[in-house]
Amino acid sequence: MPTPRVRASRFVVALGAVTAALLGASVLPAAPAPSRPTTAAPSSPSGPTLRGTRGPSAPLHAAGRWTVDRYGRVVVLHGVNRVAKAAPYAPEAFGFGPDDLAFLADHGLNVVRLGVDFRGLMPTPGVVDHAYLDALERTVDAAAAERIFVLLDFHQDGFGPLVHGNGFPEWMTITDGLDNPPVPFPLYYIGNPALQRAFENFWTNRLGPDGVGIQDSFLRGFDAVVRRFGGDRWVAGYELMNEPWPGADWASCADATGCPELEAERLVPFAQRAERIVRRHSPGQLLAVEPFVLFNFGQGPTTMPGLAPGRAMLATHSYALSVAGEEAVVRLTNEAADAQSVPAIITEFGASTSVALADRLADQFDAGRLSWIFWEYAESLIGDEHEPAGLDNLANPAAFAALARPFPSAIAGTPIGWAFDDEHTVFELVYDRVLPRGSLADPALATVISVPRLHYPNGYRVVAIGARVVSAPCSEELVVRPRRGARYIAVRVEPATDTATCEPVGA
């Protein structure tokens, strides 16, 4: 089996071949080479002043298969989850604050998937805890101050504590008295009849203790959250339910053909009700919908999100048990998103400090042109959340560096491909200047590439075809603008050979 670095290097070569075919240029080598560098000295821009030089500009929208910013540029999101599964269920109570968000932004990460727990949101039937929303809002505001987008994630695992999971309070958990063995995660999905029945009763909207359907109560809480954040430009949208489970009849979802009938019967009507709420309160935020959790092992396709294009987004996770399964998750995610003309994002992967795993999965997502959000900041990345965030307070600095990789955060066009070869510290991007909505990008729109200094401690240089560099020397946000008449653009970043080019990390 080839190593992740070899795969990445081959993809960089493939991008060079695309560049050659499109532009008649020589194929860019996979290893660093001194040919045709443009140093980081900014060139004199011609024409109108560039817009969008600080990365993606809020708010985000859907444009067919892509997520785009206010200028219509394709946006790529890299970030982390922060989900508090213990009382009081707000990450700020555990130390997640402005210092963490500044640290993430300083290393190029631009999205946080922020958990909403119903035990905090609606601890008693029908009553929304607005103090809990206040706590979430403080975190959203701190993220916005760092130009970090937030995806509000309605999170559960195994339904709730009454059935040995987390997420939903006991009053929402109707088990009909079925056997409730203490089976651990994730086996409780297939080995706990009470958990399975709780999900089935959610899908059928069984009446809760207040005489209101359990799903209706969920949507009342969802409505309260969208009302609170519907006008927030840095809230990209809402992930309707983390890792939903069909119930006792789960087996068909593990089949090679998936379970489209169960998705249509249970997930689609639920998502349609939520979509109406988002449309009512928000001018353009996205509703991210996940398939049933078995999709995340790469065994079969999905028909989700099952909603009309424009406001819908497909959210999937990658937890496959083999490389082939991981690659299938990427392929099946893209097939579903392409078929329904909606953006897609991997909202969970990792759950580990393994550098090899982070590298391999990030390489796969890059090859699939997918945004991603790592699981989870407090569990696997930061050392002590109550201490100041920084490189000296990490559980595994190498794993963090694998995530803080170069990537194109805002593309003034449509990406053909990008890749990072971590063996040679080479990044390449190739894109078409035609935007997803069909028009040629304005020459005054910048393309921005995040180039974290962690990977280029002595600086970098750039080979740009069809574009010129206009950012400051070795800026961690590399900005390019198109040359006159260029349709296709290729950008290559490689380490500088002159160690005096930039100050080293920490200087």
- Digit-by-digit pLDDT tens for the chain (507 residues) are 333 333 334 444 545 555 555 544 433 333 333 223 333 333 444 567 899 999 999 999 999 999 999 999 999 999 999 999 999 999 999 999 999 999 999 999 999 999 999 999 999 999 999 999 999 999 999 999 999 999 999 999 999 999 999 999 999 999 999 999 999 999 999 999 999 999 999 999 999 999 999 999 999 999 999 999 999 999 999 999 999 999 999 999 999 999 999 999 999 999 999 999 999 999 899 999 999 999 999 999 999 999 999 999 999 999 999 999 999 999 999 999 999 999 999 999 999 999 999 999 999 999 999 999 999 999 999 999 999 999 999 999 999 999 999 999 999 999 999 999 999 999 999 999 999 999 999 999 999 999 999 999 999 999 999 999 999 989 999 999 999 999 999 999 999 986 555 644 432
At residue 283, the pLDDT reads 84
Contact 318, 291 (CB under 8 A): no
Distance of alpha carbon 495 from alpha carbon 461, whole angstroms = 6
Distance of alpha carbon 208 from alpha carbon 204, whole angstroms = 12
Distance of alpha carbon 218 from alpha carbon 174, whole angstroms = 14
Alpha helices (H) in 122-250, listed in sequence order = 130-145, 188-191, 193-203, 214-229
Distance of alpha carbon 30 from alpha carbon 20, whole angstroms = 14
Contact 406, 450 (CB under 8 A): yes
Give bridge partners of residue 323 from the DSSP assignment. Answer: none
Contact 124, 171 (CB under 8 A): yes
Distance of alpha carbon 308 from alpha carbon 334, whole angstroms = 17
Helix (H) or strand (E) holding 399: helix 397-403
Q: Where are the domains of the chain?
A: 1-82+410-507
Tokens of 254: 């593990």
Q: What is the dihedral of CA 494, 500, 502, 503, to 10 degrees?
A: 130
Nearest to 225 by CA among 208, 213, 237, 207: 237
Q: What is the dihedral of CA 283, 285, 291, 292, to 10 degrees?
A: -90
* DSSP conformation letters of 306-340: -S-TTTEEEEEEE--SSHHHHHHHHHHHHHHHHHH
Contact 490, 23 (CB under 8 A): yes
At residue 16, the pLDDT reads 55
Distance of alpha carbon 327 from alpha carbon 323, whole angstroms = 6
CATH class in words for 1-82+410-507: mainly beta
- Count the Cβ atoms, other than its own, within 10 Å of residue 159: 28
State how beta strands 447-450 and 477-482 pair: antiparallel
Helix (H) or strand (E) holding 270: helix 268-281
The pTM score is 0.92
- Count the Cβ atoms, other than its own, within 10 Å of residue 46: 10
State how beta strands 74-75 and 78-82 pair: unpaired
Distance of alpha carbon 184 from alpha carbon 386, whole angstroms = 29
Residues across the chain: 507
Contact 314, 343 (CB under 8 A): yes
Contact 419, 23 (CB under 8 A): no
Tokens of 325: 């399964």
Helix (H) or strand (E) holding 409: strand 407-411
State how beta strands 460-465 and 488-495 pair: antiparallel
At residue 26, the pLDDT reads 34
Distance of alpha carbon 35 from alpha carbon 264, whole angstroms = 55
Contact 104, 79 (CB under 8 A): yes
